[in-house]
């Protein structure tokens, strides 16, 4: 019985081993060699058989089984591993711009090799420098032991689970592997996969990556390998770390070993033994590298012979036997046909150059970002200009500069605001530039280009606190056309929400009825939320939490905010104040030319002052807090005056939404002064009187008068004491009655 059991067990063990080897073999044919020999269905059948056997026999579990490529539970954080041999970097030598010999630094490097080895001909290899993330793969007895990032060169992150998801990396090298093999190489994302992934993310409303390197680094930092498996990562080996096995006298022997073990390696690798040959090789790599399909930014030159490498030795940070020759990015001239405006997810308006298509660093470029209007002005970019294009980080096209010599007479300067007619090109909403920022933004709460971020803000805790509506749900709602604006949330039914697909088409994930019910309930509560929360939720520029509170203190409901005379007066007063400063005859930046102008401007100034005082007196009872100052008032007035703002009010009425203020304080009733002797009269005070100015002002006000700071057509009396010079002249000229304190006593009877 025991024997039979053992035979079965041995059978299972060998079948498991056989299946693992077979699956890895087909994996390699499929991913590394693009030459599959069996169908996907047959592969899946073998895979399932292995899964079942492994489940039945946990005693034969192995992390390097093909079933474990995407496995393991998400990590809390990465373990640190100490590198067996330090992971050094390489010294950069740069291609020089505008110099006689662009390769001067590279030539110096080769001359140093010649000098240090005391020979004319040094064998070196030349290969592309991959723009990726360095990793070390450690195989013991052929099995992948761990994979680690470079870290600080001495210790790095253990990213084994993440690296296992890369199908081209073998997990088991087979029987004739050396006892210890540390392979160093680069993890990267091929250009095409990168572009497809970015497009998909953009579609899903996720932030996109600036370049494949960042996307790769971001993927490797994921703690859940299932997330890594979705990223199209690739690996190529380029160096040897720790090693125990048959001698490898040259780099060529190392490459043969990699090929035999079927570890994918960086190619092409050229070999040369002369300086001219070296220059030839790097030039060839520079022209050919764009066809590789992944990012490269230079050529790595290494001494071929390992004994010679040891002889040359190391500096504290890099080997003396290697150099990374960094290419200048390729630049091409083309014509800028037009500038268009893109509205980003947060409402930022980005100008984009529409170009005559041109081949740069291996791909056709027809558009390039111009970042913002200031950048356009700084570079003096005009429509019709010939411009120089390069790919920043060899990926994202950018306009370097204008070729001014080629500017045609009809090249047109560009004004963003003029171009868009002052309105958001996506929704026609108002646009504004925040102080200290270079970018124009669309401020419309209903802008469809910003739907996701606006819905998120609208539903957030400090706004309307709509439970369950975060980034993912907002994205799904927009993607499936259920919402174009936050107010559309109020049209959703429990059914629509319940069957909302948060996943992809291939991997659907329902939002679910329970969650849907929660959202519907929250929406009901949101209807009753006070005005300040609604104002904050609408994301009107300048209206933060405290401004929203102050606005709600001043107004009973949204309609009154939209039509607010308080806010209109604040805006008007601020505008008059700016004007007053400008026309003041004491304005040092703009002094009056002669006495005539001085007098004219003084008059204008005093009229403005009087109007400002009037407005201030009207606003005074509200005791406005600085939280709703002119900047806030202007933004709110502008918003509700815009078509977009009017539409919000209309739409809310349709949806039966009428938020009320919870902290409204009606304007304190003005004391009834109609029975007082000076009711309706406006005074201006000047000169020295029997009491102080403030005292006199209070006294006059107690008798029902208004007191203003300067004489205007609205002034009824100038109360003048000793030496009331200029105001007196002015009053007399304007036909305003001038009285002294005796005259006042008479008026009061």
Cβ-in-10-Å burial (0-12, 13-18, 19+) of 190 comes to middle
Region binding ligand IVH by CB under 6 A among candidate stretches 128-136, 371-379, 392-400, 541-549:
128-136
Q: 295 or 468: whose CB is closer to ligand IVH?
A: 295
- Measured CA distances, 704 to 566, 681, 691 (Å): 23, 8, 18
The vertex-648 CA angle with 431 and 482, nearest 5°, equals 100
Question: Coil, helix or strand for 566?
Answer: helix
Region binding ligand IVH by CB under 6 A among candidate stretches 32-40, 83-91, 94-102, 611-619:
83-91
DSSP one-letter string for 309-321:
HHHH-B-SSSBTT
Is 266 a binding residue for ligand IVH by CB under 6 A? The answer is yes
Is 127 a binding residue for ligand IVH by CB under 6 A? The answer is yes
Kind of pairing between the strands at 717-720 and 682-686: parallel
Region binding ligand IVH by CB under 6 A among candidate stretches 129-137, 253-261, 587-595, 604-612:
129-137
**Residue 372 · residue 431 · CB < 8 Å:** no
Is 130 a binding residue for ligand IVH by CB under 6 A? The answer is yes
Among the listed residues 26, 69, 83, 129, the single contact to ligand IVH using CB under 6 A: 129
Cβ atoms < 10 Å from Cβ of 65: 21
Is 106 a binding residue for ligand IVH by CB under 6 A? The answer is no
Nearest approach, Cβ of residue 108 and ligand IVH (Å) = 18
Q: 146 or 490: whose CB is closer to ligand IVH?
A: 146
Cβ-in-10-Å burial (0-12, 13-18, 19+) of 230 comes to middle
Question: Which single residue brings its beta carbon nearest to ligand IVH?
Answer: 134
Contacts 24+ apart (CB under 8 A), 314-322: 314/88, 315/91, 317/88, 317/89, 317/153, 318/88, 318/89, 318/90, 318/91, 319/88, 319/90, 320/112, 320/116, 321/113, 322/90, 322/91
Q: 222 or 266: whose CB is closer to ligand IVH?
A: 266
- Identified catalytic residue from 45, 97, 115, 129: 129
Is 430 a binding residue for ligand IVH by CB under 6 A? The answer is no
Nearest approach, Cβ of residue 213 and ligand IVH (Å) = 11
Tokens 């090929």, located at residue: 259
Is 324 a binding residue for ligand IVH by CB under 6 A? The answer is yes
The vertex-523 CA angle with 522 and 528, nearest 5°, equals 95
The neighbouring-strand residues paired with 331 are: 390
Cβ-in-10-Å burial (0-12, 13-18, 19+) of 498 comes to middle
Nearest approach, Cβ of residue 543 and ligand IVH (Å) = 49
Q: How many amino acids of this chain bind ligand IVH (CB under 6 A)?
A: 15
**Residue 343 · residue 426 · CB < 8 Å:** yes
Give dist(CA 546, CA 626) in Å, integer: 10
Kind of pairing between the strands at 133-140 and 143-149: antiparallel
Nearest approach, Cβ of residue 301 and ligand IVH (Å) = 9
Nearest approach, Cβ of residue 149 and ligand IVH (Å) = 10
Region binding ligand IVH by CB under 6 A among candidate stretches 18-26, 101-109, 127-135, 426-434:
127-135
Is 265 a binding residue for ligand IVH by CB under 6 A? The answer is no
Region binding ligand IVH by CB under 6 A among candidate stretches 122-130, 370-378, 577-585, 734-742:
122-130
Q: 69 or 129: whose CB is closer to ligand IVH?
A: 129
Q: 126 or 615: whose CB is closer to ligand IVH?
A: 126
Q: 156 or 645: whose CB is closer to ligand IVH?
A: 156
Among the listed residues 205, 212, 264, 319, the single contact to ligand IVH using CB under 6 A: 319
Q: If we measure between CA atoms, which residue out of 726, 714, 735 comes closest to residue 607?
A: 714
Is 147 a binding residue for ligand IVH by CB under 6 A? The answer is no
Nearest approach, Cβ of residue 503 and ligand IVH (Å) = 36
Q: If we measure between CA atoms, which residue out of 476, 360, 377 comes closest to residue 417?
A: 377
For residue 129, indicate whether it is catalytic: yes
Contacting ligand IVH within 222-261 (CB under 6 A): 238-239
Contacting ligand IVH within 162-221 (CB under 6 A): 186
Nearest approach, Cβ of residue 315 and ligand IVH (Å) = 11
Nearest approach, Cβ of residue 89 and ligand IVH (Å) = 4
Give dist(CA 262, CA 173) in Å, integer: 8
Contacting ligand IVH within 84-103 (CB under 6 A): 88-90
Is 523 a binding residue for ligand IVH by CB under 6 A? The answer is no
**Residue 421 · residue 392 · CB < 8 Å:** no
Among the listed residues 93, 183, 229, 300, the single contact to ligand IVH using CB under 6 A: 300
Q: Which tokens belong to 421?
A: 């007619």
Q: 93 or 497: whose CB is closer to ligand IVH?
A: 93
Region binding ligand IVH by CB under 6 A among candidate stretches 199-207, 317-325, 645-653, 673-681:
317-325
* The dihedral sign for the CA sequence 202, 204, 208, 214: negative
| Run of H or E including 52 | helix 40-56
* Active site (catalytic) residues: 129
Residues that bind ligand IVH (CB under 6 A): 88-90, 127, 129-130, 134, 186, 238-239, 266, 300, 319, 322, 324
């Amino acid at each position: 019985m025991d024997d039979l059991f053992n035979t079965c067990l041995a059978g299972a063990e060998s079948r498991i081993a056989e299946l693992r080897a077979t699956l890895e073999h087909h994996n390699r044919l499929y991913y590394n060699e693009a030459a599959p020999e069996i169908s996907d269905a047959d592969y899946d059948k073998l895979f399932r058989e292995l899964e079942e056997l492994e489940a039945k026999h946990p005693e034969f579990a192995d992390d390097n089984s093909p079933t474990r490529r995407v496995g393991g539970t998400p990590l809390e954080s990465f373990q640190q591993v100490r590198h067996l041999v330090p992971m050094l970097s390489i010294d950069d030598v740069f291609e020089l711009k505008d110099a006689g010999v662009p390769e001067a630094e590279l030539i110096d490097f080769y001359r140093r090799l010649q000098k240090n080895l005391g020979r004319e001909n040094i064998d070196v290899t030349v290969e592309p420098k991959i723009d990726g993330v360095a990793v070390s793969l450690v195989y013991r007895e052929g099995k992948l032991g761990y994979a680690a990032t470079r870290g600080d060169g001495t210790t790095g992150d253990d990213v084994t689970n993440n690296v296992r998801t890369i199908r081209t990396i073998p997990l088991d090298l087979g029987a004739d592997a050396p006892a210890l093999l540390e392979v160093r190489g680069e993890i990267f994302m091929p250009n095409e996969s990168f572009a497809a992934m970015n497009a998909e993310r953009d579609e899903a409303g996720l932030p996109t990556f600036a370049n494949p390197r960042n996307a790769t680094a971001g993927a490797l930092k994921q703690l859940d390998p299932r997330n890594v498996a979705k990223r199209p990562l690739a690996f190529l080996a380029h160096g040897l770390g720790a090693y125990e096995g048959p001698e490898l006298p040259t780099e060529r022997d190392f490459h043969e070993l990699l090929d035999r073990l079927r570890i994918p390696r960086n190619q092409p690798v050229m070999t040369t033994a002369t300086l001219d040959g070296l220059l030839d090789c790097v030039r060839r790599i520079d022209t050919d590298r764009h066809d590789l399909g992944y990012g490269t930014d230079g050529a790595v030159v290494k001494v071929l012979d390992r004994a010679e490498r040891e002889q040359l030795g190391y500096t504290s940070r890099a080997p003396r036997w290697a150099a990374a020759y960094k290419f200048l990015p390729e630049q091409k001239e083309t014509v800028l046909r037009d500038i268009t405006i893109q509205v980003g997810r947060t409402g930022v308006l980005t100008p984009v150059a529409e170009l005559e298509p041109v081949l740069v660093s291996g791909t056709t470029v027809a558009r390039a970002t111009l970042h913002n209007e200031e950048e356009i002005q700084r570079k003096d970019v005009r429509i019709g200009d010939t411009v120089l294009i390069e790919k920043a980080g060899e990926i994202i096209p950018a306009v370097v500069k204008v070729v001014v010599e080629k500017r045609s007479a009809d090249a047109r300067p560009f004004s963003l605001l003029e171009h868009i007619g002052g309105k958001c090109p996506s929704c026609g909403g108002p646009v504004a530039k925040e102080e200290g920022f270079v970018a124009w933004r669309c401020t419309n709460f209903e802008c469809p280009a910003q739907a996701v971020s606006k819905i998120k803000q609208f539903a957030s805790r400090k706004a309307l606190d709509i439970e369950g509506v975060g980034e993912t749900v907002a994205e799904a709602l927009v993607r499936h056309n259920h919402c174009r604006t936050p107010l559309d949330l109020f049209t959703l039914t429990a059914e629509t929400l319940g069957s909302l697909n948060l996943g992809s088409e291939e991997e659907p994930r329902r939002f679910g009825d329970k969650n849907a019910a929660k959202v519907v309930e929250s929406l009901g509560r949101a209807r009753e939320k006070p005005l300040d929360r609604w104002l904050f939720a609408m994301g009107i520029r300048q209206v933060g939490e405290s401004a929203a509170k102050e606005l709600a203190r001043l107004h009973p409901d949204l309609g009154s905010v939209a039509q607010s005379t308080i806010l209109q007066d604040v805006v008007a007063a601020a505008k008059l104040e700016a004007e007053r400063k400008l026309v003041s005859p004491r304005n040092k930046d703009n002094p009056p030319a002669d006495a005539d102008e001085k007098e004219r401007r003084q008059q204008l100034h005093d009229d403005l002052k009087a109007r400002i005082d009037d407005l201030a007196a009207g606003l005074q009872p509200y005791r406005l807090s600085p939280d709703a100052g002119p900047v806030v008032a202007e933004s709110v007035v502008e918003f509700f005056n815009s078509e977009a703002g009017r539409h919000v009010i209309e739409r809310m009425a349709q949806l039966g939404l009428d938020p009320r203020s919870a902290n409204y304080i009606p304007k304190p009733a003005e004391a009834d002064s109609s029975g007082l002797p000076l009711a309706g009269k406006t005074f201006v005070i000047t000169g020295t009187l029997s009491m102080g100015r403030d005292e006199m002002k209070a006294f006059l006000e107690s008798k029902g008068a208004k007191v203003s700071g300067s004489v205007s057509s609205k002034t009824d009396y100038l109360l003048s004491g000793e030496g009331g010079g200029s105001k007196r002249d002015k009053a007399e000229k304007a036909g305003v009655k001038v009285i002294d304190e005796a005259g006042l006593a008479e008026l009061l009877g």
